[in-house]
Each structure stands twice: as C-alpha cells, then as structure tokens.
C-alpha cells in the first residue's frame, strides 16, 4: 500500500464485521467502480480457520483489482493468507515482530489514535503508515480517542511516512481531512451503508479525491 505520489489522497476500504453472504459481490462492485488503494479485512471473534475461509474470496477480488489486502490485528492470519500486510492496534503486537514474521515487503500499519508520540514510535519501529482517528463519530466501534485534523497537518510537516485518517468518514465530511494532508482515507460505513450502494459511494469519493 505504497502512496501513489501522483494522487494526493487515496481510499482505504475497511470491511464490515459481516463479510459472509453477498459481501464478496458487494466488494467486487465497490472495487470495480474506481481505484481503491487497500482493503482491510476486519472480522472479530472468529477462529483462524473460519476467518481464512471468509478471507480467501475477498483476497482474490482485491488481487484482481490491484488493491492491497490488509488483515486487521492478526499477524498469524496475515501470514497464513500471504496477505499484503497487517494493521495493528496498540494492543495487537509490535511492528518489528510483525515485520520479522511477514517479511520486508509486508505493509504494516499502526493505529495511533490522536497521539503524536505513538505515531513517532510506530515510525521508529518500522511501520509503513500510521493511522490517526477517530475524526468523526462512528458506529463501527466504540470511540475512545478523538483526533483533530491538525494532527494530519503536523504529521505532514514533519514526516514522509504516509498517514491514514479513520473514524466516521463519509463523502460529506472527508474534504477537510484531505485538505489537512491525509494520504489515505479509511472508510467503512461511509461506503457499505451508503444509501445508493457501495459503487456510488466509491465514485463520489473518487470525484472528491480528484479535487
């Protein structure tokens, strides 16, 4: 999930917790609508075998669309799947250990909430990107940390490592995060719950990100 410097900001899709049923078709619809830099596979409370079974068709769809497939929180699952990378929360492991397990080419991201200190630590530990948020209220998870767009401006003024904005992002509120310097917008409900469907949401984001 390296940053494309010709594009000021790119889309980073996060899965809903339920990725069964018709979700593969919905992902195909979304990724067919416009380029998406990365897709994060985020499921909870499943054993690795069940998670891998659900992940495999989604991983194939991502590969067909040149979208990086990132596993949330689970280094062992990322290794099993040969995923493009892993996204680590603050309690989900060390980026250096993840690098040792997954190899030099893996994309490793770290949740840094609203903390400049955690972000600098993640960069020093070899993360490929840092994620700040939540910027807006979200129904995807309980929000304990609220970030201000100013942290994106600060990060961009100090570091070259890409930063991801996350938390309650929709096509209607994303512009200020793009302007503040987010390299990637991590979006879940803003696409999957969009009234006109995922493809319509992706196309609106594409228009927004193109300026």
Does residue 190 carry a pLDDT above 90? yes
CB 40 within 8 A of CB 14: yes
Q: Is the residue at 56 inside a domain?
A: yes
Q: Is the residue at 111 inside a domain?
A: yes
Enclosing domain of residue 99 = 10-209
Q: What is the pLDDT of residue 5?
A: 54
CB 166 within 8 A of CB 131: yes
* pTM for this model (two decimals): 0.95
| Residues 6 or more apart whose Cβ sits within 8 Å of residue 38 | 1, 12, 13, 67, 68, 69, 70, 84, 107, 184
Q: Is the residue at 4 inside a domain?
A: no
For the record, the structure tokens of 26 come out as 């919905």
Of 209, 171, 148, 151, the C-alpha closest to 3 is 209
Q: Is the residue at 145 inside a domain?
A: yes
Q: How many domains does the chain contain in total?
A: 1
Q: Is the residue at 1 inside a domain?
A: no
Tell me the C-alpha to C-alpha distance, in Å, between residue 142 and each of 133, 184, 198.
Answer: 12, 22, 23
Dihedral pair phi/psi, residue 115, rounded to 5°: -105, 115
Q: What whole-number distance in Å separates Cα of residue 109 and Cα of residue 3? A: 13
CATH classification of the domain holding 99: 3.20.20.70
Q: Is the residue at 3 inside a domain?
A: no
Q: Is the residue at 130 inside a domain?
A: yes
Does residue 133 carry a pLDDT above 90? yes
Q: Is the residue at 57 inside a domain?
A: yes
Average pLDDT, integer, range 65-78: 98
Average pLDDT, integer, range 11-25: 97
pLDDT tens for each residue of 80-129:
999 999 999 998 889 999 999 999 999 999 999 999 999 999 999 999 99
């Amino acid at each position: 999930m390296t940053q494309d410097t010709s594009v000021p900001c790119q889309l980073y899709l996060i899965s809903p917790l339920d990725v069964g049923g018709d979700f593969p078709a919905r992902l195909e619809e979304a990724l067919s609508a416009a380029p998406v830099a990365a897709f994060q596979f985020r499921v909870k409370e499943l054993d690795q075998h069940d998670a891998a079974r659900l992940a495999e068709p989604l991983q194939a769809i991502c590969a067909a669309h040149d979208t990086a497939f990132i596993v949330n929180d689970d280094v062992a699952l990322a290794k099993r799947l040969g995923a493009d990378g892993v996204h680590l929360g603050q309690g989900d492991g060390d980026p250096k250990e993840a690098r040792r397990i997954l190899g030099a080419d893996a994309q490793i991201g770290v949740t840094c909430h609203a903390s400049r200190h955690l972000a600098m630590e993640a960069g020093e530990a070899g993360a490929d990107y840092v994620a700040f948020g939540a910027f807006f209220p979200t129904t995807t998870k309980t929000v304990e940390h609220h970030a201000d767009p100013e942290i994106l401006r600060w990060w961009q003024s100090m570091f070259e490592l890409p930063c991801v904005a996350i938390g309650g992002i929709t096509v209607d509120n994303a512009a200020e995060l793009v302007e503040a310097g987010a390299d990637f917008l991590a979006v879940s409900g803003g696409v999957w719950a969009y009234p006109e469907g995922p493809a319509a949401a992706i196309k609106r984001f594409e228009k927004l990100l193109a300026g």
